[in-house]
Amino acid sequence: MLHLYLLEKEKLLMTAKEYLSELYAMETMLECQRERYRECIDCATSTTIPINQVKVQSSKSDNGRIEKYMTMAADIEQDINQAESDYYNYKYKLMKLIQGMHNTHYMQILFKVYIQFKSVYQASKEMDLSYSYVVALHKKALKAFEDMYADKMIECEVQNRAAQ
């Protein structure tokens, strides 16, 4: 509880936009991990010989290479599984928070921008509202989210700081 008090006092509280944008950051990290996984699999299954290797070598070194990259891929796969679990748990949590808002337009804009990763412009077209109105609505929705869930954002800030 002391940590929460200190965060409020020092104004280290993250904004609603930062809090909601964590999901996109998690998605980006997952994509990076998936790409690393594919690269490891490609390296393990590659049949080409590196340019700097002129000598003919036995398959033992190939097995070492294959084993090395397959082990790395297995480790990355475990990380991906954990990251996916964290991602879907956080996504579900955000969806529940957004659904808890009392204004349907606020729910729509926050859902489209922070859960579906659409731009405010795309959201305005889908909502059949003017872009300038949706920009203003987005700002109001973020403010309402911040007011409603400040305690959740403080909790997230404490967890992020503890993880560092």
pLDDT in tens, 27-61: 999 999 999 999 988 888 876 655 555 555 555 55
How buried is residue 72: exposed, middle or buried, by Cβ count under 10 Å (0-12/13-18/19+)?
middle
Cα 64–Cα 65–Cα 68 angle in degrees, nearest 5: 85
Quick one: average pLDDT of 134-163?
A: 84
Q: What are the structure tokens assigned to 131, written together?
A: 């872009």
Q: Which helix (H) or strand (E) holds 113?
A: helix 104-114
Mean pLDDT, the chain, rounded, equals 83
Q: 73 with 37: CB under 8 angstroms?
A: yes
Cα(54)–Cα(57) distance, rounded to whole angstroms? 9
What pLDDT sits at residue 57?
52
- Backbone φ and ψ for 49, nearest 5 degrees, come out as -100, 130
Render pLDDT for 91-121 as a digit per residue (tens, 0 to 9). Answer: 999 999 999 998 999 999 999 999 999 999 9
Say what percent of the chain tops pLDDT 90. Answer: 57
CA nearest 41: which of 82, 74, 84? 74
CA nearest 145: which of 92, 121, 109, 119? 109
**DSSP state, 164?**
-
